[in-house]
Amino acid sequence: MQNPNPHHAVIEATGRGVVTAQPDIAVLRLGVATQAKEPIAATDENAKIVAKVIAAIEQAGIAEEQIQTAGLSLQPIYEWDEPNRRNVLQGYRAENSVTVRAPIERAGKAYDAGVRAGANEAGGLVFTIADDSPYRQAALAAATRQAVEEIETVAATLRVGLLGPVQAQVLLDGGPRPLEMNLRAAAAETPIMPGQLEIVEQVRVVFEISHP
């Protein structure tokens, strides 16, 4: 679409389109933290537990390609020695975490399986949509309609004619706004309640006008 001529009068407006959708994917994070006197002991123990956690998640019905390493660290542990006014090395802490992308109906089972296998850290739970294209298109259409309606209202109030659109611009790459929740281990299967997501788009539209 052509750029508006700087010598021609225009009216512009920005429309906002919001579409709600049911999420179908949950992305959760599980981690294992271990401590030992020596670094190799901490990492060896950690690796063994993480392997069990991953195997348990796969047995819960999650494909290997949906499990990804999210973090890996090894840090010394110090304790303050007040009489000598110095830090004393106590050991090492190894951490390894994975993100798991699971269908909503399997997320609770995968989470519980990982915790039972030895995961002792859990991050947030994010809900999203596998294919958000239809929702984004609907939001873009709604945003465009709103912008055009506002332009038509302004033009009618000013009693000027509209020659047509000369510019349109998508201002916000909306997509689904992930809904984050915290997880805790439970004796029974952890319930997963995804709620609704909002897909938001904004469109700027410019119309050239004719004077009466």
pLDDT digits (tens, 9 = 90+) for 119-177: 999 887 888 999 989 999 999 999 999 999 999 999 999 999 999 999 999 986 655 55
Between CA 7 and CA 155 the distance in angstroms is 18
pLDDT of residue 192: 72
| pLDDT higher than 80, residue 3 | no
| pLDDT higher than 80, residue 83 | yes
pLDDT of residue 6: 56
pLDDT of residue 125: 83
Model confidence over 90-116: pLDDT tens digits? 999 999 999 999 999 999 999 999 999
CATH class of 25-128: alpha beta
**CATH 3.30.110.170 intervals, the chain:** 10-21+131-210
Query: pLDDT band at 118, cuts 50/70/90?
Result: very high
pLDDT of residue 2: 53
Query: pLDDT band at 8, cuts 50/70/90?
Result: confident
pLDDT of residue 181: 45
| pLDDT higher than 80, residue 9 | yes
Place of tokens 């788009």: 201
- Over residues 54-77, the mean pLDDT reads 96
Does domain 10-21+131-210 match CATH 1.10.10.10? no
**Residues linked to residue 32 through DSSP beta bridges, in sequence order:** 96
Model confidence over 166-211: pLDDT tens digits? 999 998 665 555 544 444 444 456 677 777 888 999 999 999 998 7
Find all residues with CB under 8 Å of 82, minimum gap 6, and list them. none
| pLDDT higher than 90, residue 33 | yes
pLDDT of residue 175: 53
Between CA 71 and CA 129 the distance in angstroms is 24
**CATH 3.30.70.2970 intervals, the chain:** 25-128
- Over residues 73-100, the mean pLDDT reads 94
